[in-house]
Amino acid sequence: MWRARRWPERRRTASSGRANTHVIHHAGKILALVEAGLPYEMTSELGTVGPRDFGGRLTTGMTAHPKELDGELHFFGYGVVPPYLTYHRLDAAGELVESRAVEVPGPTMMHDFTVTEHYVIWLDLPVVFDMERLGKGMPFSWSDAYGARLGVMDRAGVTRWFDVDPCYVFHVGNAREDAQGRVVLDGVRYSRDYFNRTWKVIGGSTDPTPQAGAAVLHRWTLDLDGAVKEEQLDDRSVEFPTFNEDRLGRASRYLYAVTGGEVVKYDTERGTSTITPVDGHAGEAVFVPRAGARAEDEGWLMSIVDDRLLVHEATDLHEVASVRLPRRVPAGFHGSWIAD
């Protein structure tokens, strides 16, 4: 049984952080994000407006991976004092309309989560706050005692937890409810050993670039009666799963990811994949739908590869553009296509 240490009670406030992980657009605002701090509002000309705390009501950081479903923005903040996990929701006008503590056993490092039509999906995994790592980058490490759970929270805030084989997941792909009402979640799964090896390299941040090893595409199928099915979908080491976000939380067929030097396209219906090599370190391949597209994969993949922005047709992965950037961008950042 994992037991949390007692922490002194104090008023929770979130501070502004470096906002260096992701940039999103919601309700007419551009927000730069880092999970340890408040969202930072920016102008489309890259000017800084400032941190947003919704009139003081947002008292946690905002994950760098919020999920927009039907205009609403779902997100969470995690911390090292209780409540360790707090769910938040912005309505389509950008107002903070819900904040709700979610019970987890301890200060788990949660980098991502997702939503389906009726549920919020939590990753309560065994990488937890570790005092001994204070001052050495992110103060979190693997705990054999913590266990591993996925949570399915309904809109009333009731969460069902499912024990899973211990692992860590930085990033999930899509999730959906299937015809039998089960929740199906795809994500990139790290074993304990591979997490520990990766964490030694990237322990000062939370967005690993793919390295040789075993962070693999994995599927969890959660039967709300309690059964969990786990299956590895591929043996290629990948990171940064992306998809056509118009399909977020609903059935989708295609998933994209990157290896160290390739962009990968998975057809999860047929169980096949195709790859295209890139000359350098492939950054996240962001899917941009073609205006008026009908097919799920009608659009482009935009990926920063060192000092270039590469654009591939998402249908067959052929390269259509390579744009030289004024400087190299280290792999590991996220981004969004924000239509002008």
Q: Count how many Cα atoms sit within 13 Å of the Cα of residue 105 in the half-sphere of its side chain.
A: 19
Q: Are 244 and 289 in contact (CB under 8 A)?
A: yes
Query: By CB under 5 A, which span of 83-91, 199-207, 254-262, 316-324 interacts with Fe ion?
Result: 199-207
CB of 151 vs Fe ion, minimal distance in Å: 19
CB of 65 vs Fe ion, minimal distance in Å: 6
213 CB burial (10 A radius; 0-12, 13-18, 19+)? middle
> Residue 77 and residue 157: Cα distance in Å, rounded?
16
CB of 111 vs Fe ion, minimal distance in Å: 6
Q: Is 34 or 184 the residue whose CB approaches Fe ion more closely?
A: 34
Query: By CB under 5 A, which span of 30-38, 138-146, 153-161, 206-214 interacts with Fe ion?
Result: 206-214
Pairing of strands 40-42, 48-51: antiparallel
DSSP assignment of 119-150 equals: EEEEEE-SEEE-GGGTTSSS-EEE-TTT--EE
Q: Is 67 or 182 the residue whose CB approaches Fe ion more closely?
A: 67
Q: Is 207 or 262 the residue whose CB approaches Fe ion more closely?
A: 207
> Residue 312 and residue 239: Cα distance in Å, rounded?
18
Query: By CB under 5 A, which span of 72-80, 157-165, 207-215, 319-327 interacts with Fe ion?
Result: 207-215
Query: By CB under 5 A, which span of 96-104, 187-195, 200-208, 223-231 interacts with Fe ion?
Result: 200-208
Q: Which of residues 295-324 bind Fe ion (CB under 5 A)?
A: none
Query: By CB under 5 A, which span of 80-88, 134-142, 205-213, 284-292 interacts with Fe ion?
Result: 205-213
CB neighbours of residue 258 within 10 Å: 26
CB of 187 vs Fe ion, minimal distance in Å: 12
Closest residue to bound Fe ion by CB: 207
> Residue 227 and residue 128: Cα distance in Å, rounded?
26
104 CB burial (10 A radius; 0-12, 13-18, 19+)? buried
Q: Which two tokens stand for residue 82?
A: 């209780």
Q: Is 207 or 297 the residue whose CB approaches Fe ion more closely?
A: 207
CB of 334 vs Fe ion, minimal distance in Å: 5
Q: Are 47 and 40 in contact (CB under 8 A)?
A: no
> Residue 30 and residue 338: Cα distance in Å, rounded?
9
CB of 21 vs Fe ion, minimal distance in Å: 6
Compute how many residues bind Fe ion; rule: CB under 5 A. Answer: 1
Query: By CB under 5 A, which span of 28-36, 155-163, 204-212, 258-266 interacts with Fe ion?
Result: 204-212
CB of 113 vs Fe ion, minimal distance in Å: 11
Q: Does 124 bind Fe ion (CB under 5 A)?
A: no
**Residue whose C-alpha is closest to residue 186's, from 178, 195, 197:** 178
CB of 244 vs Fe ion, minimal distance in Å: 19
Q: Does 284 bind Fe ion (CB under 5 A)?
A: no
User: DSSP code of 5?
Assistant: P
Q: Does 207 bind Fe ion (CB under 5 A)?
A: yes
- Which residues form the interface with Fe ion (CB under 5 A)? 207
